Structure 1
Amino acid sequence: MYILPFAGIGGTERHVLALVRNLKQRHRLCVLSPRGPGADMFRSEGVGFYEIMALEFDRNFFAAVASLRSRLDQAIRESGVSLIHVHANIGLALLSRLMTRRHRPAGHRLPLVFTAHGAHEASATLEYYIDCRLANRVADAVICVSGAEAARFRDLGIIPSKLHLIYNGIDEPRWNLSAGQLRSRYGIAREAVVIGTVARLERVKGVDLLLRAFAEAAGDTVYGHRNIVLAIIGSGSEECELRALARALGVADRVLFMGMIPEASACLPMFDIFVVPSRHEAFPLACLEAMAAGKAVIATRVGGIPEAVVDGETGILVESEDVPGLARALRGLVADPDRRRALGAAGRARYEKMFRGSDMAARTEGVYFHVLAGRDSGKGEPAGERSGKDPGDRKIELPGEPEIGRYVTT
């Protein structure tokens, strides 16, 4: 059973969708989530879907708790649930643990796995602390999607035996339209250099930084390519402000706000350069999708991004908030199509080696088997019981990195 706190079409939802697509032939799966555009994605996969109310402490909290309890009982009764996997919200994990105590298949409590998907706002440090403390009490396993996240949990005192590092992964991209067809649809010249990004239009995603860097690069006559376009896919609360910023910077005629596109990766063929300008990230799927599409990536050196993008080999990394640095990276790649192709090819190879959705699903399935085996043997470490080992001594496995060794101390 997968439980999500929201059902948009962001990274968390697409992460779970990849798990569903790769595991549904081997397991009976069901999904609990609130109503949202992402809910239809799960329904279309033919797995059990149970709608719950969004868990918001400032609105309808008790009604949401009642909704969760009712749907948990229904899903367990109808789908024969033997394991619960909660994503992105430790409060849902705590409630799920409390509400399922009376459901004890074969005399055992239901194992619970929790995957953290990053915290990006001003309260991030507090959120990580709470996640770690509660996960120690209620989760049998904690999955982090990047080494940077795993290190934060380790430093905050997660029980070492619970911690698993499994990189995000995506399925092989498929496109119905060619680059030329996409450019024709959106009114972009075939000879233009298209810089693209896919992001929620919120401050944390740094689209304002990209606009400023694009304006700086577009106004530079030195690098010799005047026909450049910035395509922004996504929606959010800052869209009006970003449109106003593009006008103020004098580049509104070169910036295409494409809105929310459910399968945004379908537009990747028309991009020459893909940018991830985020101020904070865990391990963005959009970056992996661009690599899988063979696109040169420019990204900020935050969160788990440096674990995906190798600076100078598969893309270019710049510091967060460094608009001049981002502008220099844009100018360099706009002027050098050969380097764009080389970086894109290397990124594609790295995707094939490390970030396939099927590999992520297989490793996650391995965690399921691990916690189920521990439950059935009676040798597993119960939630809330410390192993006695120093968390600082924990060695975290980095899957798919044979060139640096099977184990790396973080």
Structure 2
Amino acid sequence: MTVVHVETGMHLYGGALQVLMLLRGLAASPGRHVLVCPAGSEIAEAAQGVADRVVAMPVRGDLDVAFGARLYRVLREEDADLVHLHSRRGADVIGGIAARLAGVPAVLSRRVDNPERRWWVALKYRLYAHVITISEGIREVLLAEGLAPERVTCVRSAVDTQTYRPGGDRAWFRREFGLADDEVAVGMAAQFIPRKGHRVLVAAAPAVLAAHPRTRFLLFGRGPEEAAIRSLVHEQGLGDRFVFAGFRTDMAHIFPCLDVLAHPAYMEGLGVTLLQAAACGVPVVGAEAGGIPEAVADGITGYLVPPGDSTALAERVGRLLGDLALRETMGAAGRQHVDARFSVTAMTVLNRRVYERVLGVGSG
């Protein structure tokens, strides 16, 4: 079985990181796995020696017909049995058309829960033999838009629990981000875009600080809303309580040092950063939106709050900050939750099972 994987992300996080973990898992089973990715992308380098072949090529967006032609040639060169389209940008429609022209069945991974128009779903998804969603929440969105249940399978994203684990260096953490010994840290790791809910956390901050004045809020990530959120923080007089930490590649060292992770997103496919934090033993307070309820077991590994409800967010975060034993209990439960439901092995096996189902073959 020869599978061509298409991932168009430039940076090695999110979907691209999931693809790399999948390729590592698949390397232990029979078959040939080829990666098509953008020239200069981080996964192009990281996948060397993991995939059987890495083909790096220009990818210029959703309407890059030349990319489709190049992908078509790779499919023919490899005599591919199946193509797995892991990305939306530049890959889902153009990739599906290239696969159709090459006579190769396509599997699409869907990582976001934003709805699409029913007419577009009916047209676009004809290109794919099967669709994999990273959460049941996304699967329900597609079913509501008219896809047949037998054409959609949930295979949850995975977390490398050997990399993300409890036991961070808190002395380094406090030096790195300028925290005093008596301060507690509430983190949020998300792209600065409206649907991630940074404004909800800023709105919740005064109530949290009223009860726990030695709290610092650390915001990790970057994005178009960052300047607006910085301005909002300063308008609220909270500049000394917030740290804009930027995009970090060492979150596996940072997460274990947080006291609470907040994620008040309005929409979320699953929330891998929530799972990474939970694997590090950190309780999570997330909004009850998209796939977040699959990542956070309410009252067990953290809390769920209504989307946009800054009062509820402040209450739950404050409850955790005021109770070290509760944080430790929920953190340990979070680690167990991730180990049981979000392993790399399970993700690999279930993806391969979809391939075999599409091709009508058995294991081995």
TM-score, with length taken from structure 1: 0.79
Give 5+ residue unaligned stretches, structure 1. Answer: 104-108, 376-410
How big is the shift at 1:282? Answer: 1.0
Distance 2:108 2:198 in 1: 30
Q: Work out whether residues 197 and 275 of structure 1, in 8 Å CA contact, stay in contact via their aligned partners in 2.
A: yes
Partner of 1:98: 97
- Corresponding residue to 1:29 among 24, 28, 33: 33
Q: Which moved more, 1:44-53 or 1:165-174?
A: 44-53
Q: Does structure 1 residue 143 correspond to structure 2 residue 132?
A: yes
Partner of 1:15: 18
Partner of 2:43: 39
Q: Does structure 1 residue 112 correspond to structure 2 residue 103?
A: no
Q: Deviations for 1:92-148, whole angstroms, at most 9, x for unmatched residues?
A: 344334334564xxxxx422111111144xxx342x76245422x121111111112
- Corresponding residue to 1:254 among 219, 238, 241: 241
Distance 1:233 1:41 in 2: 25
Q: Deviations for 1:186-227, whole angstroms, at most 9, x for unmatched residues?
A: 222233211111110111111121122123311x1xx3x432
Partner of 1:329: 316
* Distance verdict in 2 for CA 1:9–1:243, change over 3 Å: farther
* Distance verdict in 2 for CA 1:263–1:370, change over 3 Å: farther
Partner of 1:388: none
Partner of 2:296: 309
* Distance verdict in 2 for CA 1:93–1:217, change over 3 Å: closer
Q: Work out whether residues 42 and 49 of structure 1, in 8 Å CA contact, stay in contact via their aligned partners in 2.
A: no
Q: Look up the equivalent residue of 1:337 and give its one-letter code.
A: L
Q: Work out whether residues 309 and 315 of structure 1, in 8 Å CA contact, stay in contact via their aligned partners in 2.
A: yes
- Corresponding residue to 1:158 among 128, 139, 147: 147
Q: Work out whether residues 75 and 99 of structure 2, in 8 Å CA contact, stay in contact via their aligned partners in 1.
A: no
Partner of 1:241: 228
Partner of 1:86: 85
Q: Deviations for 1:282-323, whole angstroms, at most 9, x for unmatched residues?
A: 111011111111111100000011122111111111111101
Distance 1:184 1:354 in 2: 35
Q: 3-state SS of the aligned residue for 1:84?
A: strand
Q: Work out whether residues 146 and 167 of structure 1, in 8 Å CA contact, stay in contact via their aligned partners in 2.
A: yes
Alignment of 1:70-85 (within 5 A): 70-74=70-74, 76-77=76-77, 79-85=78-84
* Distance verdict in 2 for CA 1:343–1:41, change over 3 Å: farther
Q: Work out whether residues 293 and 304 of structure 2, in 8 Å CA contact, stay in contact via their aligned partners in 1.
A: yes
Partner of 1:265: 252
How big is the shift at 1:86? Answer: 0.7
Q: 3-state SS of the aligned residue for 1:7?
A: coil
Distance 1:93 1:243 in 2: 35
Q: Look up the equivalent residue of 1:327 and give its one-letter code.
A: A
Distance 2:34 2:46 in 1: 9
Q: Does structure 1 residue 207 correspond to structure 2 residue 198?
A: yes
* Distance verdict in 2 for CA 1:336–1:89, change over 3 Å: same
Q: Look up the equivalent residue of 1:130 and give its one-letter code.
A: W
- Corresponding residue to 1:191 among 158, 162, 182: 182
Q: Look up the equivalent residue of 2:187 and give its one-letter code.
A: G
Q: Does structure 1 residue 288 correspond to structure 2 residue 275?
A: yes
* Distance verdict in 2 for CA 1:316–1:45, change over 3 Å: farther
TM-score, with length taken from structure 2: 0.89
Q: Look up the equivalent residue of 2:25 and give its one-letter code.
A: N
Distance 1:76 1:264 in 2: 40
Q: 3-state SS of the aligned residue for 2:91?
A: helix
Q: 3-state SS of the aligned residue for 2:213?
A: coil
Partner of 2:287: 300
* Distance verdict in 2 for CA 1:241–1:98, change over 3 Å: closer
Distance 2:74 2:150 in 1: 32
Distance 2:67 2:228 in 1: 37
Q: Work out whether residues 121 and 146 of structure 2, in 8 Å CA contact, stay in contact via their aligned partners in 1.
A: no
| Aligned-CA RMSD value | 2.5
Q: Look up the equivalent residue of 2:97 and give its one-letter code.
A: L
Partner of 1:385: none
Distance 1:299 1:244 in 2: 24
How many aligned residue pairs are there?
A: 355
How big is the shift at 1:180? Answer: 2.4
